Amino acid sequence: KAGVTQTPRYLIKTRGQQVTLSCSPISGHRSVSWYQQTPGQGLQFLFEYFSETQRNKGNFPGRFSGRQFSNSRSEMNVSTLELGDSALYLCASSPDRGPANTGELFFGEGSRLTVL
């Protein structure tokens, strides 16, 4: 089985621009969640999507948004970028309900965003 795939792996943007990150979950996983990882703040939960619906949301401003498609692939978007948005954005998938759900998250390698 292919793992969680995130694209792009690295990107550089300037303040005020917007960015879209993509995540393809493990086949059969319907839950996709996004985390922001920074040296000072650790891993912060952004949001989770399940069956194309946002199921949970963290404490991030409205500039951070996401969506999920019918094939479970997910995108997150950050508009009006700020210097503080520089971070590693991690996507994780899980099988969610059923016997396959052990509570484990399966992570991608992340998209490292630098805002100049």
Sequence-distant (≥ 6) Cβ neighbours of residue 103 within 8 angstroms: 94
The DSSP string of 24-58 is EPPTT--EEEEEEEETTTEEEEEEEEETTEEEEE-
Closer by beta carbon to another protein, 37 or else 79: 37
Which of 81/90 has CB closer to another protein?
90
Binding mask 61-100 for another protein (x = CB under 8 A): -----------------------------x-x-x-x----
Note if the bond before 99 is cis, omega within 30 degrees. no
Tracing tokens 């996401």 back to the chain, one arrives at 66
Q: Is 108 in the site for another protein (CB under 8 A)?
A: yes
Inter-residue contact 77 to 60 (CB < 8 Å): no
Complex with another protein: residue 31 or 85, whichever CB lies closer:
31
Q: Which residue ranges make up the site for another protein (CB under 8 A)?
A: 3-4, 31-33, 35, 42-43, 45, 48, 50, 55-56, 58, 90, 92, 94, 96, 101-105, 107-110
